[in-house]
Amino acid sequence: MSTPDQWPLWEVFVRSKNGLSHKHSGSLHAPDAEMALKNARDVYTRRSEGTSIWVVPSSAIVASAPDEKEVLFAPSDDKVYRHPTFYEIPDEVGHM
């Protein structure tokens, strides 16, 4: 059983029917992009889950580190004025 070196890992993103952004569905191994697309279709869209697929080599993804979570995301926690509910507009004005 001569197994070739493990095929690269690909991350699969699928755009659902209702025109939303591509969303991460999962991953798979494939020797090249073409096979990755074909396999992604078979594995992740067997029940009309999508209208478009992206496959991205996992090695191309740069992720933020978990211990940077505070530094990166905490600063937005105290900026309530970025949300519409922060502002009091009289009912008479109607929907805004």
Partner 1 sequence: MAPTVDLEARFLAYVAAENKVEPKHWMPDAYRKTLVRQISQHAHSEVVGMLPEANWITRAPSLRAKLILLAKVQDEGGHGLYLYSAAETLGTSRDQMIDDLLAGKAKYSSIFNYPTLTWADMGAVGWLVDGAAIQNQVMLCRTSYGPYSRAMVRICKEESFHQRQGYEIMMHLARGTQEQKAMAQDALNRWWWPSLMMFGPSDDQSPNSAQSMAWRIKRKSNDDLRQEFIDKTVPQAEFIGLSIPDPDLKWNEERGHYDFGAIDWSEFFAVVAGNGPCNTERLEARRKAHAEGAWVREAASAYAAKQSARRPAAGLPAKPHAA
Three-state SS at 39:
helix
7 contacts partner 1 (rule: CB under 8 A):
yes
**Using CB under 8 A, which of the segments 20-28, 72-80, 86-94 binds partner 1?**
20-28
- Please check whether residue 12 is in contact with residue 54, taking contact to mean a CB–CB distance below 8 angstroms: yes
Q: Please check whether residue 21 is in contact with residue 56, taking contact to mean a CB–CB distance below 8 angstroms.
A: no
Q: Which is nearer to partner 1, 42 or 72 (CB)?
A: 42
At closest approach, how far in Å is the CB of 84 from partner 1? 29
| Identified binder of partner 1 from the candidate list 17, 26, 51, 72, rule CB under 8 A | 26
Q: Binding to partner 1 by residue 58, rule CB under 8 A?
A: yes
Token digits of residue 18? 């209702």
Q: Is 9 in the site for partner 1 (CB under 8 A)?
A: yes
Q: What are phi and psi of 60, to 5 degrees?
A: -90, -5
Distance (Å, rounded) from C-alpha 37 to C-alpha 16?
Answer: 16
Residues that bind partner 1 (CB under 8 A): 1-9, 11, 24-35, 42-43, 46-47, 57-63, 65-66
